[in-house]
Structure 1
């Protein structure tokens, strides 16, 4: 079966060009007509202009472990594609409903895990899966959070694949609830498209995304400890050598709040303060882009200099809010992902709107047996892996790679899950050879405060290598602007 193509009703097997004469889907027709009239030389010059501007602005990410020829660390641009991914209004409405439902259930699960543990007592989620999980934080047990929200900013990865009738079906591939990144690229991609092709936005009713920083700040302020009329919000970054530092600085600047490092904060009498030129200033909400283990050397890793000593004491006392909450990782672990549909039914009494990808848990003997026998056809993932690492894509791997991964799974089956190799939907993409289909995913950013909100769309990531299913920027993927058409 051919992959579902977002723009055309059929896609070529070779991925060199769309099927000749294939019908254009209704929501792409106006754009396809415009694209057909564009000169290739003009498109190439626009692509070069985008790269120059992104480089000048400093929209880069660091690649850990990668080295330039001189041995120094390397920073790379995330390639930007000129052809947008377009989603019609009715599809977005349904996806949005599913995202609100899913994130609401995940926050209910996190509150339950750190309080009464009803879902564990009911046997819906195995207790050992949670309580023995590396991301479970006993220090959070019994801590009450504003609005009972643990994941204020959730990045939910969604893919699309063709069903038996060739219709595109959306699936949730992964929940990112700790420190999800990429929203700055969503915003910068839109600005770039409006700069390069302003006429397109006069002819298409594209839902705006520029208000995301306002929504984010509203969400963070809504999570402030009770009784504070004008909360002070800061963005906590590990520093300029972090791969997502551009985004940390960008969001702080867009929200008009301070960007701080751990050394800029201190705790006194269980309150958190920021050092300023005018003296200490109390901090009420910390939008942290630092992992749990590095947040507080008193509570977690004593060798960490990225966080602030005593911050967990202030947090547990209710004098500061950390977004996302410490301990959220227990809900986005890949070994917990298969239980999210059951969480939705348990907490909300509803059927899931968005489907999970079928998942085999290698900790279960029957699933392990199936996975070991069918590795060449599956995607096998380390439960704590991220960024496209710790993963085997069976159909694209050598026999030696499969055998090496097989031994790792046998040695530690509870550390792995496996899924069918979905043929991710493709979207026309401007590559060196011209316009060709490439596989994509979508990461909408869901904000939970007193209510659940989101900017329309999200970050579309694209696997630029022909045939590749790995869209992660650290693995050579690029990004596209995502258009939600307003009716």
Structure 2
């Protein structure tokens, strides 16, 4: 449906869900060959170290930059920093001098090589983006442009999050990879195109309309469940600013048994995989975040809209594979790719 490349969240829920399942249902992991996901923090740290600026320290200093404890994902920021054994920092903990980023410590300034930022582009650097940002580090982008610090995910990669750009992914894959995408796109109408806009306006009660830069389940219309007033409100918005919207067909999302007030009941789910890309290749986590629409009949799975999560099992096919579910294990069935060629370790999604 879309990509999340700026500040993708939810991986801590994947890890905590697995921990809960290991405690509650250990017999499942004895009878099923489930690929481990607990190596993710180690893999993330390795990825951060792999993109450290050349000529820097042999042991790069990596940090996680958070907006602070008022952010809804602060738990995840803290969890990942703790799991990787790196510092969790806020803007006040960092400063830039001579186009280099430094961290304030009790032992004096320490140079920072890699920043895993969980702050949107607009707030990263008040000297370049929003001047009123108190969450960013003045001079950070200058240090980044000078090649003295690596930022994950890179500033500007939010273009991949744009839902209109998503509609071009088959062409992008064909151009860069020389072949067809293995996963087909969901049909997407770009409302800035007159013909597409006419179709969407004529079928508002059938489609899902989204802001191209929206997230969290906000600014969207689910036609089949919307009221007449909501549909008319979106009709006016589309006519006024069609370039801000795309539309997609209402998909029949899969359902899974979920414990509801009335007992076990079907609830709609979607799946969010996690991919790490560093200088040594691409790694796909053999698991992911299954998001659940907890309200009966709802198709909105976002946690900010009342959604929940479930553990996701990827079953290993080959008998010789590691099944270690202990924290920090580096086996874990990670699927690796070098230069776009997948080195699959024989897994299937359950």
By the TM > 0.5 criterion, same fold? yes
- 1:477 to 2:311 alignment: no
- 1:437 to 2:266 alignment: yes
- Residue 288 of structure 2 is aligned with which of 427, 443, 458? 458
Partner of 2:346: none
Shift in Å, 1:301: 1.0
For the 8 Å contact 1:212–1:454, the answer to whether it is kept is no
CA distance in 2: counterparts of 1:219 and 1:478, whole angstroms: 29
RMSD (Å) for aligned C-alpha atoms: 0.7
CA distance in 1: counterparts of 2:45 and 2:252, whole angstroms: 37
- Residue 358 of structure 1 is aligned with which of 187, 202, 211? 187
Q: How many residues align?
A: 315
Q: Aligned with 2:196: secondary structure?
A: helix
Summarize the alignment of residues 333-352 of structure 1 with structure 2, pairs less than 5 Å apart.
333-352=162-181
Q: What do the CA deviations read for 1:170-212 (whole angstroms, capped 9, x no partner)?
A: xxx1100100000000000000011111122111111100000
- 1:189 to 2:23 alignment: no
For the 8 Å contact 1:235–1:287, the answer to whether it is kept is yes
Shift in Å, 1:429: 1.4
Partner of 1:252: 81
Partner of 1:213: 41
Partner of 1:373: 202
Q: What do the CA deviations read for 1:373-396 (whole angstroms, capped 9, x no partner)?
A: 110000011111110110000000
CA distance in 1: counterparts of 2:198 and 2:80, whole angstroms: 46
Moved over 2 A (4+): none
Q: Aligned with 1:414: secondary structure?
A: helix
CA distance in 2: counterparts of 1:316 and 1:331, whole angstroms: 20
CA distance in 2: counterparts of 1:380 and 1:307, whole angstroms: 32
Shift in Å, 1:371: 0.5
Shift in Å, 1:454: 2.2
Partner of 2:253: 424
Shift in Å, 1:267: 0.5
Summarize the alignment of residues 70-469 of structure 1 with structure 2, pairs less than 5 Å apart.
173-228=1-56, 229-449=58-278, 450-469=280-299
Summarize the alignment of residues 25-104 of structure 1 with structure 2, pairs less than 5 Å apart.
none
TM-score (norm 1): 0.64
CA distance in 2: counterparts of 1:232 and 1:328, whole angstroms: 23
For the 8 Å contact 1:236–1:259, the answer to whether it is kept is yes
Higher relative contact order (CA 8 A, sep 6+): 1
CA distance in 2: counterparts of 1:321 and 1:391, whole angstroms: 34
For the 8 Å contact 1:447–1:454, the answer to whether it is kept is yes
CA distance in 2: counterparts of 1:260 and 1:237, whole angstroms: 6
Partner of 2:330: none
CA distance in 1: counterparts of 2:49 and 2:125, whole angstroms: 23
Q: Aligned with 1:350: secondary structure?
A: coil
Q: What do the CA deviations read for 1:150-176 (whole angstroms, capped 9, x no partner)?
A: xxxxxxxxxxxxxxxxxxxxxxx1100
Q: Aligned with 1:485: secondary structure?
A: strand
CA distance in 2: counterparts of 1:479 and 1:215, whole angstroms: 23
CA distance in 1: counterparts of 2:205 and 2:90, whole angstroms: 45
Q: Aligned with 2:312: secondary structure?
A: strand
Shift in Å, 1:227: 2.5
CA distance in 1: counterparts of 2:152 and 2:126, whole angstroms: 18
For the 8 Å contact 1:249–1:259, the answer to whether it is kept is yes
Runs of 5+ unmatched residues, structure 1: 1-172
Q: Aligned with 2:316: secondary structure?
A: coil
Partner of 1:120: none
For the 8 Å contact 2:207–2:248, the answer to whether it is kept is yes
For the 8 Å contact 2:161–2:213, the answer to whether it is kept is no
For the 8 Å contact 2:186–2:248, the answer to whether it is kept is yes
For the 8 Å contact 1:297–1:304, the answer to whether it is kept is yes
CA distance in 2: counterparts of 1:313 and 1:385, whole angstroms: 28
Shift in Å, 1:284: 0.2
CA distance in 1: counterparts of 2:78 and 2:160, whole angstroms: 27
Greater helix fraction, Structure 1 or Structure 2:
1
